[in-house]
Amino acid sequence: MASIPVEGQRKALLSVTDKTRLEEVGRALHNHGYQLIASGGTAWFLRDKDIPVTGVGELTGYPEIFGGRVKTMHPAVLGGILGPSHESFAETKKLGIEAIDVVVVNLYKFEETLLRKASDAETVESIDIGGPTLLRAAAKNFSRVTVVSDPDYYDEFLEQLENNDGGTELAFRQKMAARTFRRAEQYNDAIAGWLEKLVGPTDGIALRYGENPHQAAQLVLPASEDKDNPLAALGITQHGGKELSYNNIVDLVAAVKLVGDFQEPCCGILKHTNPCGFGLGAGVVGLQRALICDPVSAFGGVFTFNRDIDLATAEILAKRFLEIIVAPGFSEDALAKLTRKKNVRVLTADIPTFLSVTHGKTRSWGQLVLKQDEDEGFSELAEWKVVAGPEPDAETRTALEMVWKICKHGKSNAIVLGDLHATLGLGFGQMSRVDSTELAVLKAGNQNLDLKDCVAGSDGFFPFPDGIEKLAEAGARAIIAPGGSIRDDEVAAAAEKLGVTLILTGRRHFNH
């Protein structure tokens, strides 16, 4: 049953694959005076519930064609959504184009079709074209149009109608618009991912494999004009060695971000994204210092520098088993030396470009995507508070700043022991901070390193004094941590009793 349009009557377009609570939404809109416009199965569903509805074909004057592939893509529909204001429709009314105020649309279930491992033909048919177009149009025009893209939002939508005399608030429309564009992004990503599996990646390069050899992987890259070097968009050039794998890329990001946090010349060694050695100094000096605390874990690791590599440094590296060497540049003879190792990936990195392209953090699991800002800057180092022990001298401050920055780059719970020039012990990724402390001390002991008067950094607060006590027992004279525990005073008192300087920064750098 079709309703008769009324002068000035608000209009709502409904076109849904998921009919969950459709009757409730349709009846609420009708009761608030909306003329309902619906397509295909949505219109049949509403009519079956005795809810007045106008079919899209009645509005446009055209029937659905190509088996329903084309039904809502018409000026009477899209124009009704995109018109900027009700007053602007005065010029289009004679064309049969009137304002549509609410768009309730959800998409064909493409992701579910993939999970069912349907045929290619069925999968193609489950790609929605009209739905995303309607949603994006309505979301763009949020100043006037309310878009609802999922039944999960119906409760809030119905509450808005009830509290606003059938209308909605701008803040709600903006929120729904944002969620709609995010849903469209996820939907398009799923479709692109399926097609890429059919034809291979179209905007990146295939990697040797993923985290494990049985997993396929690809690197999606920004556009690059250098067709011979797709990695140029990252500021990376590979000079030799095997193709990059998924794990290599993950390690590479961690490696460059580590040395990118230091203005001083330095060398970092990483294993599975965790630092296993770090030294301040250029060339051989930085490398030898980085190898002090855990040369065993450095076996098969990633060696990263923020200064060019000379021949003397290359000769040391060439004698080791490692996966990746990355630096801003190499002398000609150093590059020749290293590229003779056929399996070692030798990379130059324009560090500012690489850091710019990889700025921010994103993790994804299928359609679940997490995004966050980059953890950048160490403004807290200018404002730290000495809560126990003597004020640190200049050298101690330099050492504390170094271990604090390195803490940021290891998996929590992170404990870093060091001196003025290098790391001495590292403990990352343990289930408790005490475990990480014991691991860091153990690593130093394995290399017979003297921890007397070392400094320590922790990426999180100490919940109890035991961590401070273990560090002091090992030889630490100064400790830097973010603080924030309800027992900070108790921990500070323990440090004071032990004669250990304890600095709290008020800001943490977890790497979860």
Which residues are identified as catalytic? 140, 272
> Which of 3, 7, 180, 13 lies closest to 101, judged by CA?
13
339: tokens are 């590229």
The residue with tokens 């034809």 is 199
Alpha-carbon distances, residue 257 vs 285, 312, 376, 499 (angstroms): 21, 25, 10, 35
Identity at 224, one-letter amino acid code: S
Cβ-contact 108, 131 below 8 angstroms = yes
* DSSP secondary structure letters along 401-470: HHHHHHHTTSPSS-EEEE-SSBEEEEE-S-SSHHHHHHHHHHHHHHTT---TTEEEEESS--SSTHHHHH
Rounded CA Rg of the chain: 31
Alpha-carbon distances, residue 194 vs 8, 120, 264 (angstroms): 45, 10, 46
485: tokens are 């525990």
Cβ-contact 410, 429 below 8 angstroms = yes
Strands of 46-182, DSSP E: 54-55, 102-105, 146-148
Tell me how far apart the alpha carbons of residues 462 and 435 are, in angstroms, rounded to a whole number. 12
Cβ-contact 270, 221 below 8 angstroms = no
Identity at 1, one-letter amino acid code: M
Alpha-carbon dihedral 373, 377, 381, 385, rounded to 10 degrees? -20
Tell me how far apart the alpha carbons of residues 130 and 148 are, in angstroms, rounded to a whole number. 15
Tell me how far apart the alpha carbons of residues 409 and 414 are, in angstroms, rounded to a whole number. 9
